[in-house]
A and B are shown apart, each in its own frame.
Chain A
Amino acid sequence: MSTDIQTLKSLDFFADLNFGELEQIAPLMHLMKVTEGEVLTRKGELARTFFIILSGNFMLSFKEERSFTLHNKGNIIGLSTVVSPFRYTGTAIALTDGLVLLMQGQEFLRLIQSNSALGDKIMRKINKIVSERMPYMTGAWGERRH
């Protein structure tokens, strides 16, 4: 368990969380091996799982086949698990073998709703990532670029 907390602590997404909050999250996160070509999320499907990349390379594609790639530890896939209408806005494919941490969307949502301080910290991070990725999702390119 302490190893899990250490792993979570090393991720930028959880950087603002204290030890007690990380202790709440750690049992909900599970390690999963990913192989080249594996599809993690499909556009339009119910968003059931939230992923954090530990290693590997991934491609996220959105409408009109706009896409970007993720290569860094701590990058997030499956933000739609906590954002209405809870359907994936993009398709995520593993470009190489890798490791991800995953959490069931319902558990993640329950955690955010049950602990307002924790929820606030996490939603702030999610909002930041969503705003960065918004042009890819909508196709409307503002001043912000990913």
Chain B
Amino acid sequence: MFGFEAIIAHDGVGISVIGISIVFVGLVLLSFAVSRIHKLIELWDKKNTSYQRVKKSQQKDQKTLSVSDLTVPQDVRRASRQFKLLIEWMGEPFPLPKLLDLSRKCGLSSPHSTINEFIKCKLIIPDENGYYIWNKQLEEKRSST
């Protein structure tokens, strides 16, 4: 058996129709995908720009945070008002143990570590005689920024 007879006898027509339709459908899908590539590229670009925008804003936030860190941390600023009142009441130069004692009696929270923060950020500085003074210059600089 040869030629068309053999093709028909072994379902060759059906197989070739299926093959042709598979290839055709594949080509249609491929052309559709190619026709939509510009949309995909647009989406990708948008994603990148929005990601960069978010990243930039985060960096900006971090920068502003670090600038304020250079001066005095926020919680220390808040606590400084209360401690400043105590120091004004005591007079300057003042003994550090007295400030600690007074702040404890007044019920200020974590007076030890707060005073330590003041010393570390130079809001309270030693007067070289064993006593301490409130750093007005730093405070003025702080309020002007």
Contacts and interface: CB of A to CB of B under 8 A. Distances in A.
Interface of A: 36-37, 57, 59, 61-62, 64-69, 71, 91, 93-96, 135-136, 139, 141, 145
Contacts of A136: 130
A71 B130 CA distance: 16
A139 B131 CA distance: 11
Contacts of A91: 97
Category for how many chain B residues contact A: 10 to 19
Interface of B is mostly: helix
Interface of B: 95-98, 100, 110, 112-113, 115-116, 119-120, 126, 128-132
Given A65-B95, A65-B98, A66-B95, A94 B112 contact: yes
A40 B143 CA distance: 38
A69 B116 contact: yes
Nearest to A136: B130
Contact of B119 (A62, A69, A93, A135): A69
Nearest to A62: B130
B130 A135 contact: yes
B113 A68 contact: no
B112 A93 contact: yes
A69 B115 CA distance: 11
Given A95-B116, A136-B130, A61 B96 contact: yes
Contacts of A94: 112
Contacts of A37: 112
A145 B95 contact: no
A64 B97 contact: no
8 contacts: A57-B116, A61-B95, A61-B96, A62-B130, A94-B112, A95-B115, A135-B130, A141-B129
Contacts of B130: 62, 64, 66-68, 135-136, 139
Contacts of B131: 65-67
Given A57-B119, A71-B120, A95-B115, 14 more contacts: A36-B113, A57-B120, A61-B95, A61-B96, A64-B95, A64-B130, A66-B130, A67-B131, A67-B132, A69-B96, A93-B100, A93-B112, A95-B116, A141-B129
Given A66-B131, A136-B130, A95 B95 contact: no
